[in-house]
């Protein structure tokens, strides 16, 4: 197989951007993806089989057969998890990765989100740290992501945001009924509500039409291709350069290294299950936080006996996601208008500045709910089955609003990905073993956030409410997983430098949510994309053919 | 959705389904007797399951679980995605009838609705894991997409006031505004 300049492992939010940036700069690129390339024709609108409701499996991978993980619970008991089970912490396995089927909220983190340790101090037992880059460093790349991927919205109504040079390229979608109910209530509470920024066309953009506002949104591929991910933006551009080859259904087993410890390519299983070697000058790992860590840990050699870049036992640590809390309000009038994507209004007043507590998060109304998603969310006291349950569904399905948000998790070094000593996947590769939990101060602010969500719903006229602020006993990484290959200036407590380059191996990069030092109080997709643009530019700048300028 | 029923000839879809059912029948584990059109269940098991499902979602002015095809949904999944629950269903349904016979002298399906409610409550207490399985699968079959055999004619969606088929292509814009081309 012909040697190339770069192999990118994973065609998700970050990998697609890296492939496009490198191939546009003239590098030859092979983009490896373990899943398939689905199109909008594959939108099956299957309420029971999608990336959100997975009782009959994940629509966009991985499939339940042959892709286990191990989750260690709070008592130290290891359980094998299937991809359709919550404890698996699945994102997706397909071209586009999570961005094919995500809800598509496209947030910029706030300036304080990059300085969490400086802002709050590190709680004892946490691994809270500042990023080595600032919001200002990332701002131009946020903008680039917003324009190249295509974001709609308008954040001019909130003072709780970082400075931006240009407004978003598309206006927000027109408000749905929940927006109209929640907006005046938020203003009465002194908050600053605004439409959620979304990677979703509200007008013709990038050659594709606007959202048709159906109810099958988060968890589904978009039937009219109005949801913007890497699969319908940057990856087609990468392929059009002629410098990038996308190989789907290819599972990377390990990064190959030479005697000096530098990468010389990857070994992967192709769609027929044959082991292949793709040699390259550089390797970029963009497989999402859990699988990226797993790939590095599985890449063992004489110089890296415990995995590539892991001689200081940092790879896989600081696994985090978001602690979702909020409230569900029941109204005595119809709140449901059957207009997707449903999620429409947010406040970022509560992301920072709660006295005595650490962090916070934005609060927003939830995505539009399908009936199956409401069966366990009836008013308190409703029987779980029988005529009373059926009639509660009939009364309440169209009369509820959920407000919730991704509370920023305070990381710990013990929440981590390791390799399971015995369990292997269908290719025989050791699987990820997930253990530990985030720092308990996360749950304190999570409860306050839920109470704030409840207050907003009550102000909006909710007749009754249910608070949802549990204390998960395992890490809740899931689709927002991050942190496992931390970015930092000090090689002792991080894995990559500010340009996403391994401290120990100059031709291996980790470019995805793994590098997030902290994960903000927002959905992480746009930040993943911005970092991909930022790191790709640094890589191209220092590239001199088959090595790097020093 | 049921328009092909009784037409006397197989459509392509029915033919494909029949083939899949034949294949699934080879894999049946605890079924000892011939079956009446189910992919996995025996007729007697299907009757017991229908009785239980109909306590979880009884009829009012909209159909009960079994009337909406929930047993078909569960049966199809037991031959496919839910193969791992086969033993739980076989054992659980047997136990349900055993409890029923002990308390009322007849199988669950032959009891009155209040008697069935009592047995359902007893199963919930005695075999919580099985009851939760049936409860969750019943709700999936009733409120989920019709494509898997439940929610026949999208009846639960219509019950909840959802348009089915959905109204597509309705981007809500005022086309009179904005630049004219």
Contact predicate A233/A149, CB 8 Å: yes
Reported as a single tens digit per residue, the pLDDT across A109-158 is 999 999 999 999 999 999 999 999 999 999 999 999 999 999 999 999 99
Residue B12 in any domain: the answer is: no
With a pLDDT cut of 90, the percent of chain B lying above it is 69
Q: What CA–CA distance (Å, rounded) separates A230 from A96? A: 5
Q: Give residue B31's pLDDT.
A: 52
Residues 473-532 of A with CB under 8 A from B: none
Provide, for chain B, the percentages of residues in helix, strand and coil under a 3-state DSSP scheme, each rounded to the nearest 5.
60, 0, 40
Q: Which residues contact B19 (CB under 8 A, 6 or more apart)?
A: none
Is pLDDT above 60 for A359? yes
Residue with tokens 């506002």: A213
Contact predicate A308/A509, CB 8 Å: no
Coil vs helix vs strand at A336: coil
DSSP state of A244: E
Option in B58, B147, B160 nearest A393 (CB): B160
pTM of the complete model:
0.93
Residue B153 in any domain: the answer is: yes
Residue B151 in any domain: the answer is: yes
Flag whether residue A65 sits within 8 Å of chain B, measured between CB atoms: no
Contact predicate A127/A437, CB 8 Å: no
Reported as a single tens digit per residue, the pLDDT across A394-445 is 999 999 999 999 999 999 999 999 999 999 999 999 999 999 999 999 999 9
Residue A46 in any domain: the answer is: no
Residue A72 in any domain: the answer is: no
Contact predicate B40/B24, CB 8 Å: yes
Q: What are phi and psi of A469, to 5 degrees?
A: -150, 70
Residue B100 in any domain: the answer is: yes
Mean of pLDDT values over B125-151 = 97
Q: A212 and B166: CB-CB below 8 Å?
A: no
Q: B143 and A375: CB-CB below 8 Å?
A: yes
The encoded tokens of residue B130 equal 């099985």
Residue A427 in any domain: the answer is: yes
**CATH number of the domain encompassing residue A157:** 3.50.50.60
Is pLDDT above 50 for B16? no
**Using DSSP, how many helices (H) and how many strands (E) does chain B show?**
7, 0
Compute the C-alpha angle A518/A522/A527, nearest 5°. Answer: 65
Structural domain harbouring B66 = 36-159
Whether residue B165 is preceded by a cis peptide bond, meaning omega within 30 degrees of 0, is: yes
Task: Report the DSSP beta bridge partners of residue A323.
Answer: A407
- The Cα of A80 is separated from the nearest Cα of chain B by a number of Å equal to 14
Contact predicate A548/A505, CB 8 Å: no
The encoded tokens of residue A513 equal 């949510």
- The Cα of B137 is separated from the nearest Cα of chain A by a number of Å equal to 9
Q: Which residues of chain B lie closer than 8 angstroms to A340, CB-CB?
A: none
Q: Which residues contact A518 (CB under 8 A, 6 or more apart)?
A: A113, A114, A116, A128, A129, A131, A320, A408, A409, A411, A483
What angle in degrees, to the nearest 10, is found between the helix axes of B70-78 and B86-104? 130
Residue B122 in any domain: the answer is: yes
Reported as a single tens digit per residue, the pLDDT across A43-56 is 788 999 999 999 99
Q: Which residues of chain B lie closer than 8 angstroms to A57, CB-CB?
A: 81
Q: Is A260 left (phi over 0), alpha (psi -120 to 50) or beta?
A: alpha
Q: Give residue B178's pLDDT.
A: 47
The encoded tokens of residue A345 equal 């209004």
Which H or E run contains B104?
helix B86-104
Q: Which residues contact A541 (CB under 8 A, 6 or more apart)?
A: none
Residue B22 in any domain: the answer is: no
Flag whether residue A288 sits within 8 Å of chain B, measured between CB atoms: no
Residue A48 in any domain: the answer is: no
Is pLDDT above 70 for B7? no
Residue B143 in any domain: the answer is: yes
Strand order in the sheet with A363-365: A194-195, A345-347, A363-365, A400-408, A322-330, A464-468
Option in A173, A210, A390 nearest B60 (CB): A390
Q: Which residues of chain B lie closer than 8 angstroms to A46, CB-CB?
A: 145, 147
Mean of pLDDT values over B147-162 = 96
Question: Which of A43, A390, A393 to probe by mutation at the B interface, max B CB count within 10 Å?
Answer: A390
Buried-state track A376-392, b at ≥16 Cβ within 10 A, e below 16: ebbbeebebbbbebbeb
Nearest residue of A to residue B166, measured between CA atoms:
A214
Is pLDDT above 90 for A480? yes
Option in B55, B139, B145 nearest A45 (CB): B145
Contact predicate B30/B85, CB 8 Å: no
Distances (CA, A) of A303 to A389, A490, A504: 61, 20, 10
Reported as a single tens digit per residue, the pLDDT across A221-267 is 998 899 999 999 999 999 999 999 999 999 999 999 999 999 999 99
Residues 189-248 of A with CB under 8 A from B: 209-215, 223-224
Structural domain harbouring A500 = 4-40+92-367+399-542
Contact predicate B58/B50, CB 8 Å: no
Q: B145 and A398: CB-CB below 8 Å?
A: no
Q: Which residues contact A85 (CB under 8 A, 6 or more apart)?
A: A54
Task: List strand residue ranges (DSSP E) for A84-238, in order.
Answer: 194-195
A270-284, A379-393, A444-458, B158-172: least confidently modelled range:
B158-172
Q: What CA–CA distance (Å, rounded) separates B55 from A486? A: 52
Binned at pLDDT 50, 70 and 90, residue A476 comes out as confident
Q: B58 and A387: CB-CB below 8 Å?
A: yes
pLDDT higher for B19 or A212?
Answer: A212
Reported as a single tens digit per residue, the pLDDT across B71-107 is 999 999 999 999 999 999 999 999 999 999 999 999 9
Q: Give residue B169's pLDDT.
A: 54
Q: A389 and B57: CB-CB below 8 Å?
A: yes
The count of structural domains within chain A is 1
Mean of pLDDT values over B108-115 = 97
Is pLDDT above 70 for B26? no
Residue A55 in any domain: the answer is: no
Residue B179 in any domain: the answer is: no
Binned at pLDDT 50, 70 and 90, residue B166 comes out as confident
The count of structural domains within chain B is 1
Is pLDDT above 70 for B176? no
- The Cα of B144 is separated from the nearest Cα of chain A by a number of Å equal to 6
């Amino acid at each position: 197989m012909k040697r190339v300049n770069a192999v990118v492992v994973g065609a998700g939010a970050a990998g697609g951007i890296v492939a496009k940036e490198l191939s546009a700069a003239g590098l030859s690129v092979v983009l490896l993806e373990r899943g398939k390339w689905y199109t909008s024709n594959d939108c099956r609108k299957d309420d029971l089989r999608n990336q959100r409701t997975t009782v009959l499996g994940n629509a966009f991978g991985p499939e339940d057969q042959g892709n286990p993980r191990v989750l260690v619970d709070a008592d130290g008991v290891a359980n094998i998890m299937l991809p359709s089970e919550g404890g698996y912490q699945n994102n997706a396995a397909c071209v586009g990765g999570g961005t094919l089927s995500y809800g598509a909220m496209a947030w910029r983190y706030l300036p304080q989100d990059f300085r969490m340790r400086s802002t709050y101090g590190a709680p004892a037992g946490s691994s809270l740290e500042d990023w080595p880059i600032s919001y200002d460093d990332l701002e131009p790349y946020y903008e680039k992501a917003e324009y190249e991927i295509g974001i709609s919205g308008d954040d001019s109504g909130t003072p709780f945001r970082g400075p931006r040079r240009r407004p978003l390229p598309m206006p927000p979608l027109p408000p749905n009924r929940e927006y109209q109910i929640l907006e005046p209530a938020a203003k009465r509470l002194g908050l600053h509500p605004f439409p959620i920024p979304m990677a979703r066309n509200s007008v013709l953009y990038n050659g594709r039409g606007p959202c048709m506002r159906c109810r099958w949104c988060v968890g589904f591929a978009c039937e009219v291709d109005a949801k913007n991910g890497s699969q319908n933006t940057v990856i087609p551009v990468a392929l059009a350069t002629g410098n990038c080859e996308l190989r789907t259904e290819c599972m990377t087993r390990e990064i190959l290294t030479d005697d000096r410890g530098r990468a010389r390519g990857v070994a992967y299983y192709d769609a027929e299950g044959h082991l292949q070697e793709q040699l390259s000058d550089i390797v970029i790992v963009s497989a999402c936080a859990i699988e990226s860590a797993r790939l590095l840990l599985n890449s063992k050699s004489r110089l890296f006996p415990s995995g590539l870049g892991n001689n200081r036992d940092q790879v896989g640590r600081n696994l985090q996601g978001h602690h979702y809390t909020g409230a569900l309000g029941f109204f005595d009038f119809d709140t449901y208008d059957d207009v997707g994507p449903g999620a429409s209004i947010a406040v970022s007043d509560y992301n920072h500045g709660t006295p005595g507590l650490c962090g916070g998060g934005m609060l927003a109304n939830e995505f539009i709910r399908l009936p199956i998603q409401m069966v366990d969310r009836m008013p308190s006291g409703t029987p779980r089955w029988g005529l009373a349950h059926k009639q509660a569904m009939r009364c309440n399905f169209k009369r509820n609003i959920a407000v919730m948000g991704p509370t920023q998790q305070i990381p710990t070094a013990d929440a981590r990905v390791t390799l399971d000593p015995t369990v292997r996947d269908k290719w025989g590769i050791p699987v990820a073993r997930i253990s530990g939990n985030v720092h308990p101060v996360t749950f304190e602010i999570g409860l306050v956030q839920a109470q704030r969500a409840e207050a907003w719903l009550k102000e909006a006229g909710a007749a009754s409410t249910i608070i949802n602020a549990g204390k998960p006993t395992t890490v809740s990484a899931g689709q927002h997983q991050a942190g496992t290959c931390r970015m930092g200036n000090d090689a002792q407590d991080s894995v990559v430098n500010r340009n996403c380059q391994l401290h120990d191996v100059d031709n291996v990069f980790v470019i995805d949510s793994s590098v997030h030092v902290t994960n903000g109080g927002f959905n992480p997709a746009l930040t993943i994309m911005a970092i991909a643009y930022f790191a790709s530019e640094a890589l191209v700048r220092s590239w001199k053919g088959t090595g790097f300028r020093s | 959705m049921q328009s092909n029923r009784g037409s006397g000839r197989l459509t392509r879809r029915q033919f494909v389904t029949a083939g899949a059912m034949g294949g699934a029948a080879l894999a049946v584990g605890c079924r000892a007797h011939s079956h009446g059109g189910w992919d996995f269940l025996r007729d007697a098991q299907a009757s017991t399951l229908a009785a239980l499902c109909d306590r979880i979602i009884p009829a009012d002015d909209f159909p009960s679980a079994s009337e909406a095809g929930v047993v078909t949904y569960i049966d199809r999944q037991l031959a496919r995605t839910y193969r791992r629950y086969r033993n739980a269903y076989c054992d659980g349904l047997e136990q349900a009838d055993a409890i029923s016979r002990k308390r009322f002298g007849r199988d669950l399906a032959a009891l009155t609705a209040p008697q069935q409610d009592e047995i359902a409550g007893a199963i919930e207490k005695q075999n919580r894991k099985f009851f939760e399985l049936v409860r969750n699968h019943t709700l999936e079959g009733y409120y989920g997409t019709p494509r898997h055999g439940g929610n026949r004619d999208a009846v639960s969606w219509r019950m909840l006031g959802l348009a089915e088929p959905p109204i597509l292509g309705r981007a809500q814009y005022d086309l009179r505004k904005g630049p004219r081309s």
